Chains A and B, each alone.
Chain A
C-alpha cells in the first residue's frame, strides 16, 4: 500500500514539473497570406493559468521572405519566445528575434519555408489570463512597405525642393542671388532623407517575389509610383546640388587662382560627361570658367619663376587638365598658355631623363660599393662599360627655345645639371681609363706593403677621387706601419730615433684623406710622446735610484758626484706636438725630477746618512763627512728644516744660532784648510738670535773650548781672529775677551756683544790647530755684566 502511494506521488510530481501544454487552435493555423486570423479554440480563447507553460505550432510558409506576425492584446502577463525547434523546452535551439520587440502588441518573426513548424512558446504565465491573439502570415516586403508607405510619402513630401531657381539657371542667369550655403545645406538634408528612403525601397526589391512585376498588387503599384517619384526628385536635387557646389566652388576661388587651378579637375569633370545635367547649366559653368582661366597663366608662370630645382614640375591637377578645361570652356586657348604647357612638358621630359641618368649613376655607385676597397684589375674595364651606357641617356636640353621660360632659374638649373652630369660622366669615363692602368700597379705595390708609395701614386692622381675612395684603409696602413717602426725604437730605448720618427709622423700630411687620419695620427703621436716622456722619466728614475743607492754614503769627491752625467737627462726632448710650452713643461718635469733628486732626495738622504755616521764617530773622517754634508747641502734645495740644520751644523761658514740665553750649544769647529798632517785654520761662527724686548740687547758669549785648543792659550793667543759682524774684535776698549784657562775650564768669553735686533750678530772665530779633525766647542749667551777694563 505504501509503495503504491509513493509511486502515485512520484507520478504526480513528474507530471506537475514537465510539460508544456500545446495549444491547438481550432480552426487550425494555416500559413497562407490571409491577413490577421484570431487564434481560438472553438471560438474560445485559450485560458492560460498562472505558472503554466504552453506552446503553439505554426506551420512554415510556402514561400520565402515571410513574416509571422502575432498581435496580442498585451504582451504583458506572459513570457514567450519563438523558435524553429521545440522539444518540451529541452535541447539546443535558437530563439528567433522579435523584430517588433519593443512594440506593445506586435511580435514579428522571419519565417521561411525550410522546416515544418515554428513554435511560439509561453514559458511563463504571470497570472491567469485568456490568450487574445491574432496571427498573420505575410510577405516581408508587403508587411514592411505597408508599415512604411505613409511614412515614405510624408518623407518625400517633406523633402521636396523648389525647382524654380534650378530651372531658371542658364548662361544668363545671375548666380549672385543664390544663397549657396543655405541651398546646399537644405539639399544635402533632403537628399539624405530621400536617399535613405530610396535605399529602403531598393532594399525591398530583394524581397519581391520573382513574378511581381506583372502583378497588379496594389501595394506593389504603390511601390512603383512612389519609387518613380523618389527617383525624379533625387535626380533633380542631385543635379541641383552638383551645380550649386560647382558654382559655389568657383565663386569661392574668386581671387585665388591657385585654388581655382587646384580644382580644375572638378570643374572639368562637371562639364565633361554629365548627361543628366541640363546643358544650360553646363554652359553657365563654362562661361564662369572661361572668365577665370585667363588668370591661370600668370599664376602658373609665377610658379615656374619661383622654382629653382631640377625636379619635374608636378601640378595637381596636371597642367593638361587646366589646358583641357581651357579648351572645353573657351573657343581658343592663348598661345602663351600653350607655350607654358609645352615648356612644362619639355622640362619634365628632360628632368625625368636626368633622374634616370642619376639612377644609373647610383647603379654605378652601387657597383663601386659592391666592389668595396682595393678593386681588382677587372673592375675598371667593367666600370668603363657601364659609364659608356649612361652617357647616351643624357639629353641635350631644348629648354632654351621656350621663351620666356628659358631664362627661369629652374631652367638654368636643369640645363646646368645636365651639363654637369654630362661632364661628370665624361670625366668618369676618362678617369676610369686611367684607373684601369693604375689599379694593377697599386695591387702590385700592395704585395710589398709599400703603402707610402701607393699613397704617392694616388696623390699624383688626386683628381680620381672615385679611385682614392677605394683605398679607405690605406692611410691607416701607412700610419700603422710608421707606428710599428717607432715602437721598435722605443723597445730598444732609442729615445732620440723614436722622437725623430714621432716628429716626422706629426709633420707627415702625405695621406690620401689626411683629415680622416689626422685625429688618429695625432692621437698616435701623443701616445708616443707620452711613451717617450714616461720612458725617459722611468729610465732616469731607475738610473738615479741606482746612483743614489751606490753613492749616498760617499764622503769623497762629493762634488764630482753632482757633476756626473747621471744628473743629465738620458735624452733631452726636442719636440712636442702640443708646442713649445708643452715641450718645456715636459723637459721641466724631467729636469725637475732630476733636479729634485739632485737638489732634494739625494742630498737629503746623503746628508741624513752621513750625519748619522758622523754623530756615531766624529773622530773618524769627521771633517770629510762634514765637508761632504756641506757639498750635499750646497745642492740641497728642499724645505726640510732639519736637513738644512744638519748642513748648517757641518758648515763652519754658517753661523750657529744661539736662540736661548743661558743654554750651552755645541758647535763644530772645523778646519777651513786641508792639511791632513799639519796645521790647519779652524773656523766657527755663532749668531745671536735671542728673543728679547730690549731695544739694544747685549750679551756675553761664552765658548767652552777643547782643552787641546786652549791649553797653550796663556802663552800664545789661541785664536787667529775674532770678528763681530765682520768687525775685528780685540781685547781692548769696550769689549773684553776672557782667556780660556784650566781654571775656568777653558771657557772663553766675549763681552759685551751687542745684538742688533735687525742685524745678523755673527761672531766669527778663526784659530789654528795642528790637526785635521772636528773640534767641539760649546757656546752660550746670556745677560752680560759690566766689567772692568
Chain B
C-alpha cells in the first residue's frame, strides 16, 4: 500500500471509530423524557402544597388528575376532562359534574423494572370514587392557607363539599353567586389534583394518582414515571436523573444525558446550547429570586435599614451577569425581550416580576442615600449555602459580593453548610427562593415562615381561633429557630408590634380568596416589611428552559412555569 492508501484507510477507520463511539457512548434518549435534579433534594410530591423543589411541583401534573386537567394548546389554556365531565350550571350557580368513575388509580397496576425494561400489568383495580373527591376536598380545607388550592377552590365553592352522586354519577357543586361562571372558570376551580381517599392526610410525598404517568422505582430512591397502559402519553417514560448540583446541567444536556432542562443556571442564554439543530428553548417568567435575609437577632432595625442601603442590588446584578463585559450573560424574558436586567431588580418582598409589582399595586422605591456604615458591625457576615441548588449562582454571588470594590470589605459573604444556617450563625443569609409564583398566589410563607433548614421544606404557621369561626396566625409562629430572619414573635422588642402586624397581614394575604384583599394585604405586607427592613430583595433571575430537539417543539405548550409538565403527555418525539 502506498502512503496515500495508508492514509485513506486510516481515515476510514477513524470515521468508523467515531461513529461507533457515538452510538456506544453518546446518549440516545428516544422514548424518554429525562429531567435532572439535585441528588440530595429529592422531589417530594404533594399536589396541594408548594413543593420542596421546583421539580416536585411540576411533577404534580405528571402524576395526578383533577376533575379537569388544566392544559394548554397554542391558543392558551384548555381544560380537559379528567376525573369529571362538565354537565352544566343552572341559574342558581349549581354546577353539575359527571364523575369519571372508570378512571383507575395507579395502584391498579403492578410495575416491574428490570434493566430499564418496564412492565406494567393489571393488579387489583381501584377506580376513582366520590369518596376520593371528598377526601381531597377535606384535605385542602384542612391545609387552609398553606395550600394554594384552598384559596383557589374557596373562590368558587361556598364550602368544600358537594352533593351526590346521583344515579347518573353526577355530583353538584354550589358555586358562589357573585359572578357569571363560565365553563372555563368552573373547570379552573375544579382542577385541583385528587388524591385517593386511602391516602394519608399528611404524607411526606404522594405518588398515587390517575394521570398518564405512574410512578415506578427509580435511581436514588426517587421515582421515575411510566405511562399507564392504554394511556394517551406519547413518550412512555419520564426519568429523573440525579446530579450533585446544577453546575453540570448544561453539559449533561449537551451530552444527551438529559433532554429537558427546565431551568438553566442563571436563567441565562447558554452559548453551549445555542445550536438550534440540537436544542430549542422556551423562556418563561421568573421563578427564582435571590435575597439577603437579615438576622433580627443580630441586627437591629437601624442596622438593617443601613445594610439594605449598602447592598446595592444593581451593582451586584450587573456583576452577576457580567453586564457590559465580553462574558456578559445574556438573558431573555418571557416576552422575548433581551438583556433587560433592570427589570429583574427587586425592591420589595414581592418580586418585580410578580403581579403586584407589574400592576403597580405596590410601587416600592429603591433605598435612597448612602448607608451609614458606622452603624453597621465592622463586618457584616453573610452566609450562603450552595448545597441545595443554584450552586453556580451562589458561587458567583459570593465572589461578587466579596469584591472589596463593591462594599469596601464591609460585607463578608462566605459559603456555609446547612448546619450553620440552621443554627442561625449569620448576620444575614444569602438565599435563593425557587419556584415562586408571579401570580396572585405569590407565596409569602415560603419566605417568612419557612424553617431555616435547606434540607427540608417546612412552613411554620401556627393558627389560633379568632372567634366567629375565624382563625388567625399565632404570633408563636415566629421564634428564632424557625425562620431565616430569626424573628421572635413573642419576645418583647421594639420590633414586636411590627412583627405582629407582618404576621397578621401575611396570613390574611395568604388566606384570602378575594383579589382586592390580596392587593390590600400585599400593600400592607410590603409597607411593614419595608419598615422592618428584614432583607435586601436583590433580584430575580430569568427562567429559561432548554429542550432537546429530540422533541417536536410544537408539541410542547407551556403556560406558567409551575405547569411546565402539564402537557407532558402530549410531548412527542420529533419525526426524523
Q: Which residues of A contact B (CB under 8 A)?
A: 661-662, 694-696, 698, 700, 702, 710, 713-719, 728, 730-734, 736-741, 743-745, 747-749, 752, 754, 780, 782-789
Contact = CB atoms under 8 A, between A and B. Distances in A.
Contacts of A784: 515
A780 B562 CA distance: 28
Nearest to A693: B516
Contact of A694 (B184, B516, B558): B516
Given A715-B74, A785-B185, 10 more contacts: A713-B76, A732-B285, A743-B86, A749-B182, A752-B440, A783-B178, A785-B155, A785-B188, A786-B515, A789-B559
A499 B455 CA distance: 100
Interface string B355-383: 10011110000000000000000000000
Nearest to B283: A732
B211 interface: no
B75 A719 contact: yes
A732 B560 contact: yes
Nearest to B515: A698
A691 B310 CA distance: 44
- The residue among A719, A737, A780, A786 with the most chain B CB atoms within 10 A of its own CB is A786
Contacts of A728: 335
A734 B358 contact: yes
A731 B515 contact: no
Nearest first, the 3 A-B pairs at minimum CB distance are: A789-B560, A733-B285, A737-B76
B438 A696 contact: no
B516 A786 contact: no
A734 B75 contact: no
A783 B182 CA distance: 12
B334 A748 contact: no
B560 A736 contact: yes
Interface in B526-547: none
Nearest to B519: A696
A700 B518 contact: no
A788 B563 contact: yes
Interface string B132-158: 000000000000000010011001100
A380 to B, nearest CB: 103
Interface residues of B, number: 54
Contacts of B189: 785
A538 B359 CA distance: 59
A748 B355 CA distance: 21
A655 B370 CA distance: 47
A717 B74 contact: yes
Contacts of B182: 702, 744, 747, 749
B78 A714 contact: yes
Contact of B75 (A698, A739, A752): A739
A734 B355 contact: yes
Interface in B69-108: 70, 72-79, 81, 86
A695 B518 CA distance: 12
B508 interface: no
B439 interface: yes
B348 interface: no
Nearest to B442: A734
B175 to A, nearest CB: 10
B515 A752 contact: yes
Contacts of A785: 152, 155-156, 179, 185, 188-189, 515
Contact of B152 (A736, A740, A743, A788): A788
Nearest to B68: A743
Point out which of A710, A718, A740, A741 has the most chain B C-beta atoms below 10 A from its C-beta. A741
Contacts of B78: 714, 738-739, 741
Interface string B49-81: 000000000000000000000101111111101
B529 to A, nearest CB: 19
Majority DSSP secondary structure for residues of B touching A:
mixed
B309 interface: no
A740 B74 CA distance: 11
A783 B441 CA distance: 17
A786 B284 contact: no
A787 B188 contact: yes
23 contacts: A694-B516, A696-B360, A702-B182, A714-B78, A716-B74, A717-B75, A731-B76, A731-B77, A733-B353, A736-B76, A737-B77, A739-B78, A740-B75, A748-B75, A749-B182, A749-B185, A752-B440, A754-B359, A782-B179, A782-B180, A788-B191, A788-B441, A789-B559
Given A732-B559, A749-B184, A782-B179, A789 B75 contact: no
Given A736-B559, A737-B75, A738-B77, A786 B354 contact: no
Contacts of B70: 788
Contacts of A716: 74-75
A789 B185 CA distance: 13
A719 B439 CA distance: 23
A739 B516 CA distance: 26
Nearest to A728: B335
Nearest to A700: B185
A786 B152 contact: yes
A787 B354 CA distance: 14
Contacts of A740: 75
Interface in B161-182: 178-180, 182
B561 interface: yes
Contacts of B518: 786
Contacts of A780: 180
Nearest to A740: B75
Contacts of A695: 519
Nearest to A698: B515
A713 B73 contact: yes
B162 to A, nearest CB: 18
Nearest to B284: A732
B340 to A, nearest CB: 13
Contacts of B179: 661-662, 782-783, 785
B183 interface: yes
B42 interface: no
Contact of B73 (A714, A743, A744): A714
Nearest to A732: B334
A330 to B, nearest CB: 127
Nearest to B355: A734
A407 to B, nearest CB: 105
B363 to A, nearest CB: 11
B227 interface: no
B155 A789 contact: no
B437 interface: yes
A730 B333 CA distance: 12
A287 B214 CA distance: 171
Contacts of B361: 696
Interface centre among A714, A732, A745 (most CB of B within 10 A): A732
B335 A786 contact: no
A734 B436 CA distance: 12
Contacts of A787: 152, 188, 439
A715 B73 contact: yes
A733 B355 CA distance: 8
B246 to A, nearest CB: 23
A405 to B, nearest CB: 110
A786 B439 contact: yes
B515 A736 contact: no
A713 B78 CA distance: 10
B515 A734 contact: no
Contacts of B515: 698, 752, 783-786
A731 B559 contact: yes
A743 B186 CA distance: 12
A748 B152 contact: no
Could you say which of B77, B359, B441 has the most chain A C-beta atoms within 10 Å of its C-beta?
B77
Nearest to B85: A743
Contacts of B76: 713, 717, 731, 736-739, 748
Contacts of A754: 359
Interface in B432-456: 437-441
A713 B284 CA distance: 21
B20 to A, nearest CB: 41
Nearest to A755: B359
A730 B334 contact: yes
